[in-house]
Structure 1
């Protein structure tokens, strides 16, 4: 069926016939597609707002400019680390062994609705390990399931299920930008370190309270995916939508020159993996495993070495890396601006010697108490996340004043990080920004998915905010520990 026929199919099922939540979501998404600018615009506007705020409290234009420049390059190590998270995840998920795993995994579901729930479960579960692996793996799984003639699976609902990992659970897992930054002294901006200290994974991701929220999100997300998946008579398959499911040809071209021999030989891959693997083994042998895995360099090296092994040949590995690099463009250009924003928040001071961070943290303290901090911060982080769709970059913006407020209110600092993590991911469910890599794999548009992810957003928001509020009293405040 041609692309033109897709328009005909869409015309036969106007959005007015869809359930209420789906109608609202489709209209919101249509508005976003027309009016929502690139994320870089929001970052630039945030820079402007912070600069004006610093001027408003009495900081001189020179002080604002100096703090901007001093902070601009302060996050280079963290920027590179976050770019490598995206690259290594894509490289692993696009490797031939994983492609074979996807083929086998696609044989499990017995019905279209169970296939959607199955994709949702694997997406949210794998995102706890690595968000980029989850996004690509789940997208490829949806394509493979859609090829099954015996399943009448709604392709849009399955695509939305593949996106749930980055919209529900990723920030509660090992690739959490905020938790990784706070566990690595070298990555924490110098202006933030005195406020938060170093917070290990044992005080963030591996708190039993955090694990409880992550477990609840896995279960609830899977159930909602099942309940919202259209039945066989209402489902729209990839064929109904006019989407071709051609097999991706990733075969290596034949060697043309003798000089290409090493590019096709696994010998160099094995040498690099042996050296890197030796270092990783030493890290885990000489340190507590929680400390070892919390190092972003260790985390990235493990996945980089695994990606090399799975691709086996340098030629194939480098092709996968080149395909992954475009995913990092937003990180590379926006993170320096996040560093500048954090510097202006903390370093540009007014006549009374007080920074914008001081004024914002004072505002938080005035409207929140120890008991309500989780709710206030959760709502605030979720709303801001719609406009600044970057977990790590947004944390650098928020952390100076929300963590200072946490100190003032004696809120457990590791829990404050997890409040951010649990709430920050929610806007991804209705924000098209992080959908782009998945949409490219599936051949869909954002409006095709948001009708289903909107229900996840509503239920996830109620679940997360309720659990944050109920669990907050079970934690005890500790003074920041500097390293």
Structure 2
């Protein structure tokens, strides 16, 4: 991967700025574009690889736990106990990337992406389209948003008639995870609170059942999502570099060639390959899989059924198999998808260790680091400031525990108990968590990994643009949480 300093110079056409004009002060470049370029230049020079970032976070949390009074033995035990605690989630995330890639690279999906990529008339417009598609899809499923948007950005980058900044397009493709995913059906916290069978009794006794109508379908929540989408698309458009400032995928040395399976030579076929080339196994496997899925969707609410990662992953693997039709084509697509999961597999265990050290390494007084941070925020909150204080706290903690559902299990007991005591609308307290949950994603490489694998980029390539989004999102989200929360009245918990 080349750094920006080694990118081949772009030779400006007539009417462009002179070749010796520094890219970051190109004539006509807007303020947001200059900021995005400067943040990106800083990130490309100083932002570490995602693995190094996670490793540094491990050391910082371990030091903080020791400062909190935990013994070295307790910190080491928490590290080891937590290291494999996300192994199931790690596999699920890897399959999300594989399933999304397999579906999106099938012939029908590829044709749809190519048609959509032909719509924009300029590089900036294309990047705005990427942002809009990413955030819209994330309201339904974050996995679809992540992979589809990455492949759409690649399709845009293949257009020879547009000069698309590939870094900005990658950042735009990530906005579904960095802005809106937790405000839609993907919200783990809202899904948990709406399903009493999924909630631990310790939380259920405090909150009762909170239906979607009191969380993601509140008009206040939908207004917040609409504002974030509009603002994020505008930032993506105006911050996208143009002309000589735009760094294309070709400049970065990214291979955008589409994989075209070679037509098998009938003369070289072996009898043992018949099943690989025949759709027979595809039909039989899909009959079994879709039969099970039909039972799941009949027995449960469709929204509850699809919210399970295992169900979602099976659906996409079966859909990918069906769209590729022949097992050999499907297996070839899976093989091409696997490299995009390398970062997930090696880094998620570090985040599991971080979560364990935050919550399980107790100090001398029996208080874990996460409890101490939470109690600090709760102690300085009141009914009017609860949304802002808890939003800020949740965003900070989310930087170290980037797991929507898992972190809610940690936070909910004391956050929701505080909401009850301060007479804060319980559904809005869930949305405070949801909105704040997305903020650290904008600079935390945790959720970027599948997207970066598809784009063949590093976190430092896109984090300058996502940091610019964070600078706007953070105060805007906290303001909306406070302002819109004032329009809601407290209601006692509803027990099942």
The alignment partner of 2:47 has SS state of helix
Q: Distance in 2 between matches of 1:227 and 1:17?
A: 15
Quote the offset at 1:475 in angstroms.
3.7
Among 23, 32, 47, the alignment partner of 1:33 is 47
Tell which deviates more after alignment, 411-420 or 28-37.
28-37
Is structure 2 residue 106 aligned with structure 1 residue 88? no
The alignment partner of 1:247 has SS state of coil
Is structure 2 residue 174 aligned with structure 1 residue 158? no
Is structure 2 residue 134 aligned with structure 1 residue 123? yes
Is structure 2 residue 57 aligned with structure 1 residue 42? yes
Is structure 2 residue 7 aligned with structure 1 residue 6? yes
Q: Distance in 2 between matches of 1:192 and 1:48?
A: 30
Is structure 2 residue 320 aligned with structure 1 residue 307? yes
Specify the alignment match of 1:281 in structure 2. Answer: 294
Quote the offset at 1:375 in angstroms.
0.9
Q: Alignment length, in residue pairs?
A: 474
- TM-score (norm: length of structure 2): 0.78
Specify the alignment match of 2:248 in structure 1. Answer: 238
Q: Distance in 2 between matches of 1:150 and 1:241?
A: 15
Asked whether the 8 Å contact 2:128–2:236 carries over to 1, the reply is: yes
Is structure 2 residue 392 aligned with structure 1 residue 379? yes
Specify the alignment match of 1:267 in structure 2. Answer: 280
1:70-469 equivalences in 2 (<5 Å) = 81-180=92-191, 182=193, 199-231=210-242, 233-236=243-246, 238=248, 241=251, 243=253, 245-251=255-261, 254=264, 257-322=270-335, 323-324=337-338, 325-326=341-342, 328-329=344-345, 333-334=349-350, 336-337=352-353, 340-341=356-357, 344=360, 359-392=372-405, 394-469=407-482
Asked whether the 8 Å contact 1:154–1:236 carries over to 2, the reply is: yes
The alignment partner of 2:248 has SS state of coil
Specify the alignment match of 2:14 in structure 1. Answer: none
Change (3 A) 1:459 1:120: same
Q: Distance in 2 between matches of 1:417 and 1:14?
A: 47
Quote the offset at 1:96 in angstroms.
3.0
Asked whether the 8 Å contact 1:43–1:334 carries over to 2, the reply is: yes
**Gaps (5+ residues) in structure 1?**
none
Change (3 A) 1:45 1:184: farther
Asked whether the 8 Å contact 1:178–1:392 carries over to 2, the reply is: yes
Specify the alignment match of 2:16 in structure 1. Answer: none
**Gaps (5+ residues) in structure 2?**
12-18
The alignment partner of 2:68 has SS state of helix
Quote the offset at 1:221 in angstroms.
1.6
Quote the offset at 1:173 in angstroms.
3.2
CA deviation profile, 1:281-318 (whole Å, cap 9, x unmatched): 33333444444444444434333332332233333334
CA deviation profile, 1:384-404 (whole Å, cap 9, x unmatched): 444444445554554454344
Specify the alignment match of 1:53 in structure 2. Answer: 68
Asked whether the 8 Å contact 1:430–1:450 carries over to 2, the reply is: yes
Quote the offset at 1:74 in angstroms.
6.7
Q: Distance in 2 between matches of 1:14 and 1:332?
A: 40
Q: Distance in 2 between matches of 1:115 and 1:176?
A: 28
Q: Distance in 1 between matches of 2:56 and 2:115?
A: 42
Q: Distance in 1 between matches of 2:55 and 2:269?
A: 42
Specify the alignment match of 2:15 in structure 1. Answer: none
CA deviation profile, 1:139-165 (whole Å, cap 9, x unmatched): 222232233333343333333322222
Asked whether the 8 Å contact 1:342–1:400 carries over to 2, the reply is: no
RMSD of aligned alpha carbons = 4.1
Asked whether the 8 Å contact 1:50–1:344 carries over to 2, the reply is: no
Quote the offset at 1:207 in angstroms.
3.1
